Structure 1
Amino acid sequence: MHDFLLAKEIVDAVLKEVNERSLKGVKEVHVSVGSVSLAHDGFPEHVEDVSLENLTFSLEAIANQTALKGTKFTVDKSPGHHWSIEKLVV
């Protein structure tokens, strides 16, 4: 469930950026995710509850219900405790 909640948060952030920049479409989104972000709730013992594969699947499933339909998401694990949008390919 943590992966789905995190995916929703990321998709919302991408949609916000798309709207702010008046982009017509996004082909690909590169996201970097730190370890605590993988837990999403800040509890390190929940880190194993989220897999990058499940997160990617959730991102694409949620995005397909929005203006981001068909957008490919690439997720990389990074050091640190946060997630960030690294790149939007339009």
Structure 2
Amino acid sequence: MLMFIVLTLTGCVLLYLSHSNQQWLQRPLSIRPWRWLGVAAVLSGLLFSASYLPVNSALFAWLVIMMLCIGLLPFAALLKPPVEDSVSER
């Protein structure tokens, strides 16, 4: 159960960070290794969940966790402190 959640969340974070519109990093992660690793992690999370849950329950839980994670990740950038300007106020 823990591997299912960890793999799915890690895969969603890697997919988000490799997208061009992400707001966490200055530049997105490169597509070639990181996005494919994210897809592999998400799919292996589905396989882990199907190993101990019925298939339809595993698919439902997997989709709900992915929707929740991908829906909330863009808002996590709002938790970062604002970047100070290099020009000080006079």
TM, length-normalised to structure 2: 0.34
Higher relative contact order (CA 8 A, sep 6+): 1
Radius of gyration: which is bigger?
2
Of Structure 1 and Structure 2, the greater helix share is in 2
